[in-house]
Chain A
Amino acid sequence: NAGVTQTPKFQVLKTGQSMTLQCAQDMNHEYMSWYRQDPGMGLRLIHYSVGAGITDQGEVPNGYNVSRSTTEDFPLRLLSAAPSQTSVYFCASSRGQTDTQYFGPGTRLTVL
């Protein structure tokens, strides 16, 4: 039981490049979410999903896309990276929206 896994752990992009942050969970959780963590701002919700085929926006969705084709996977796509997207990104999963969230180890992204 690996829990929530994220890849890559570190990434450096140039402005305008695109990339996908991967997130997978093996706990059969319906609810998955993406957060970004910036100093002094805590975690802010980017997008979330309540089940396969269903996604919705969080507090800071602009510049990011998500899809949920399977229960296990919830990738986050940066369409055209900007320096303002430099952050640490966390994926989390839970059985339901109000249940305990299990977090992945994070991806540290730098956009030059």
Chain B
Amino acid sequence: AQSVTQLDSQVPVFEEAPVELRCNYSSSVSVYLFWYVQYPNQGLQLLLKYLSGSTLVKGINGFEAEFNKSQTSFHLRKPSVHISDTAEYFCAVCYNKFYFGSGTKLNVKP
């Protein structure tokens, strides 16, 4: 079975600071990797995805993620966050079915 671990349940950060949200997955086979964002009282929206090719994936709103096969990680980064980035972020892997991590709440402070 697949599993996805998001090590940080909450990440506080000041506006304009860089941020990294960590995601590790367990799989011995190739998987597809995703990051979704959920704003308060809304459904999830896709930030970015890795299917194949370049290991550095760029998404919307200035986010990017790097696929590291040897470390089975897919960490999400943004060089300078805004107040509007305050939301919950979910990492997901897909191997036949989707498996989501438990989420990381990003709280951007002024």
Binding site for B on A (CB under 8 A): 4, 33, 35, 40-45, 48, 58-59, 90, 92, 97-98, 100-101, 103-106
Q: Please tell me if the beta carbons of B51 and A98 are within 8 angstroms of each other in the complex.
A: yes
Q: Kindly state the separation between the CA atoms of A90 and B88 in the bound complex, as whole angstroms.
A: 15
Q: List the 6 closest pairs (A to B, CB-CB), nearest first.
A: A103-B43, A43-B100, A42-B100, A42-B102, A103-B44, A98-B32
Q: Please give me the residue from chain B that is nearest to A3 by CB atom.
A: B43
User: Is B97 in contact with A45, judged by CB distance below 8 angstroms?
Assistant: yes
A-B contact count (CB 8 A): 51
Residues of B bordering A, CB below 8 Å: 4, 6, 9, 32, 34, 42-46, 49, 51, 90, 92, 94, 96-103
How far is it, in angstroms, between the C-alpha of A78 and the C-alpha of B12 when the chains are bound? 38
Cβ-closest chain A residue relative to B32 = A98
Q: Which of B98, B102, B103 contacts A101 (CB 8 A)?
A: B98
B13 to chain A, nearest CB (A): 21
B residues within 8 A CB of A45?
A: 97-99
Shortest Cβ gap from A45 to chain B (Å): 6
11 other contacts beyond A42-B102, A44-B100, A100-B34, with CB at 8 A cut-off?
A4-B43, A40-B9, A42-B100, A43-B44, A43-B100, A45-B98, A45-B99, A59-B99, A97-B96, A101-B46, A105-B42
A82 to chain B, nearest CB (A): 23
- Which of A43, A90, A98 touches B94 (beta carbons < 8 Å)? A98
